[in-house]
Structure 1
């Protein structure tokens, strides 16, 4: 007999409902969402499991960000629960909400929510099983922070460019060099006016760029001429506006450099975690799958044995299309599901875009899918290529196998 435990989580409380396979409520209780409350809940679960007795315990919580993480990890790691074959499920809230629609006459309360979760556990057919192991959770914190920083860096650079247009509107059209190069950021942060730049000797400006750019400019004199041309062609600002813009640009440059520095620290920590982590070498053996893609994919998938097969991984990533069939009719144009792990989907799609450039099999598959439709060709072909990549990732991780170009990899459904 199985014991089903549905837990509705809030920042302060855990509302639990114990249910048997027939759908009968055995017990309900409310505890605080802290260590003491979780210990009491664990003891009540163990007591109920022994009373039935139960052969297996399924514990379910909605994946409510930080609020459910601690109780899920705590219950997952408890030896007394592991000895009684306990599995802890973190369930997508959308899945619970859809299941709730079948009970239109029920109110919305924490106790009823816990009952709904327990009943959904009893129904079964959950796409993923238990929470991830700690090493994957730790890696996930790093990769998601990196994701956050990269997007912040992009926004900060866009904001910088908007303000740069006030100071020197001809800069981006005249200067054929990265605006965010160290030398040019140094020049802008030192608050040179346009007139200062326009009247500097070309040789002096070239030497300045060479020094600040650490000799990375292939032709510093030409870049200096372009900068001066841009300075002369740009509109002039009043002193009060120019001072404000210089202050804004300086603050933006500091923010960009701070994020870049943080990214370096995060990347070092990710590299240390990947060393010796199962599956890291398998994924990095695929052409163009670098440290970032490897860490992002591993952090979101966790232990591949959480998933029954590659189709379950694809569904978890949201790389699955709904079938639309009625009688002899079957629609060709179907929509991708809107649920799924957006981080995993992001890393798989980005990795597929990179792999198709280096791996002929994926490149040909991308081009084939690109030619099949008259619109949205790139987006559709890339997402389908990511779906193909899922089969390869699943096979390599499940078999502990390195990818060898030209060698057949068993990607059959497990």
Structure 2
């Protein structure tokens, strides 16, 4: 006989259902989502196992962001439960939701717990391995970096939108980054557009070179371009101008702050990443640095969690559905919209970097780029990321360094 324990997790409660392989509900209760509640589940499992001596015990719950982390980790790491071979699995909520849809019944936490246990009883669940602590620690940093990057992108978009009000021709004429220190200080300073346009060319060039720390090759040419763009731009009224200047200054400070935070996170990622044994495997790939490699490994965890590279690709959302019926085979295979968005982000960004450094991946990207008339870059980059998944799987699974295909 087998025992299946379904847990419906929320921020405050753990609704638990103990179900045996003969579809008998042994116990249903609601416990607090804390150390005391999780230990009560443990004691109940040990008690039932002492009575019936189960050949297999599976504890399952949905992956509910931070809420399922503590109970799943505690139950998986418990020595007493490990001694009797308890298996702890964390399932994709969509799989559980589709299973629940087969039954016409109410939606309550207690019913959800029963259906999770019932889902486990059918044995179609993924045999997940809970991530070790070092991967979870790294994941906190890499996911935070991703979120800060998204915030900075949004801030830059708002900055450019308001900059267009102030100087609508600037982004078209100037061939340097608007978000460099020199350019941002120039347009959020107390100087008006007319003040900048009327400055001596040498004075403006000196200002730019000073703020840019001597990085401009031809500061006078840049100064000319900026002054021309200002002369060609529309002028705002004083009231609107004042509001736009305040907004620009706000977003400029936000962008600078977020840049500093990203650098701090990068330092933390590198310090933690170097202690992982898989680090050298991905760093050996041309174009993959510590940040991208850390993001990929943090989301994958132990590669043994995935039986094949196809499962890994599906987990990342780099999977295309096949549609076949009888003799018909659809040529349209849309990519699924599910999967781990963080892993997909780091794989796609890493693929974009690898294709610039590795000829084999560059040729593959160009081949896919030429296959379709629309969305060429986006499609080719995602296909290249899917190819990269195979490489990542081999390197991590075999603990080996990358060797260029051509050199072989």
Q: Distance in 1 between matches of 2:324 and 2:136?
A: 39
The 10-residue stretch of structure 1 (180-189 or 296-305) with the greater mean CA deviation from structure 2: 180-189
| Cα offset, 1:374, TM superposition | 4.7
The 10-residue stretch of structure 1 (370-379 or 119-128) with the greater mean CA deviation from structure 2: 370-379
2:360–2:405 CA contact under 8 A, matched in 1? no
String of CA shifts for 1:212-241, please: whole Å, max 9, x gaps: 111011111111122222222222222222
Residues 124-135 of structure 1: matches in 2 within 5 Å?
124-135=123-134
Q: Distance in 1 between matches of 2:367 and 2:171?
A: 37
- 2:84: which partner in 1? 84
Q: Distance in 2 between matches of 1:35 and 1:219?
A: 64
String of CA shifts for 1:4-47, please: whole Å, max 9, x gaps: 11100111110111122232222222111112111212211222
Change over 3 Å in CA distance of 1:360–1:182 after alignment to 2: same
The 10-residue stretch of structure 1 (60-69 or 330-339) with the greater mean CA deviation from structure 2: 330-339
Describe the SS at the equivalent of 1:66: coil
Which consecutive residues of structure 2, in runs of 5 or more, have no partner in the other structure? none
Q: Distance in 2 between matches of 1:99 and 1:227?
A: 61
Residues 118-197 of structure 1: matches in 2 within 5 Å?
118-197=117-196
Q: Distance in 2 between matches of 1:361 and 1:245?
A: 48
String of CA shifts for 1:246-288, please: whole Å, max 9, x gaps: 1111111111111111111111000111112121110111121
Describe the SS at the equivalent of 2:89: strand
String of CA shifts for 1:297-347, please: whole Å, max 9, x gaps: 111111101111212111211222223222333333223233211211222
- 2:61: which partner in 1? 61
| Cα offset, 1:167, TM superposition | 1.6
1:356–1:362 CA contact under 8 A, matched in 2? yes
Change over 3 Å in CA distance of 1:24–1:138 after alignment to 2: same
| Cα offset, 1:408, TM superposition | 9.1
Alignment of 1:269 onto 2:272: no
String of CA shifts for 1:40-81, please: whole Å, max 9, x gaps: 122112222232212432111111112222212221221111
Describe the SS at the equivalent of 1:7: strand
| Cα offset, 1:393, TM superposition | 0.7
2:91–2:126 CA contact under 8 A, matched in 1? no
The 10-residue stretch of structure 1 (366-375 or 69-78) with the greater mean CA deviation from structure 2: 366-375
- 1:235: which partner in 2? 234
- 2:252: which partner in 1? 253
Describe the SS at the equivalent of 2:68: helix
String of CA shifts for 1:373-412, please: whole Å, max 9, x gaps: 4544443333332222211111110110000113799xxx
Q: Distance in 2 between matches of 1:206 and 1:61?
A: 63
Q: Distance in 2 between matches of 1:355 and 1:37?
A: 47
- 1:100: which partner in 2? 100
The 10-residue stretch of structure 1 (252-261 or 362-371) with the greater mean CA deviation from structure 2: 362-371
Alignment of 1:392 onto 2:355: no
| Cα offset, 1:348, TM superposition | 1.7
Alignment of 1:15 onto 2:50: no
Which consecutive residues of structure 1, in runs of 5 or more, have no partner in the other structure? 410-414
The 10-residue stretch of structure 1 (360-369 or 72-81) with the greater mean CA deviation from structure 2: 360-369
- 1:29: which partner in 2? 29
Describe the SS at the equivalent of 1:278: coil
Change over 3 Å in CA distance of 1:376–1:257 after alignment to 2: closer
String of CA shifts for 1:108-133, please: whole Å, max 9, x gaps: 11111001111111222333503211
Let me know the Cα RMSD of the aligned residues: 1.9
String of CA shifts for 1:92-122, please: whole Å, max 9, x gaps: 1111110112222x22111110011111112
User: What TM-score do the two structures reach when normalised by structure 1?
Assistant: 0.93
Q: Distance in 2 between matches of 1:32 and 1:83?
A: 25
Q: Distance in 2 between matches of 1:383 and 1:236?
A: 43
Alignment of 1:299 onto 2:302: no
2:300–2:343 CA contact under 8 A, matched in 1? yes
Q: Distance in 2 between matches of 1:15 and 1:201?
A: 73
Residues 367-378 of structure 1: matches in 2 within 5 Å?
367-378=366-377
Q: Distance in 1 between matches of 2:406 and 2:209?
A: 48
Change over 3 Å in CA distance of 1:408–1:176 after alignment to 2: closer
Q: Distance in 2 between matches of 1:257 and 1:382?
A: 30
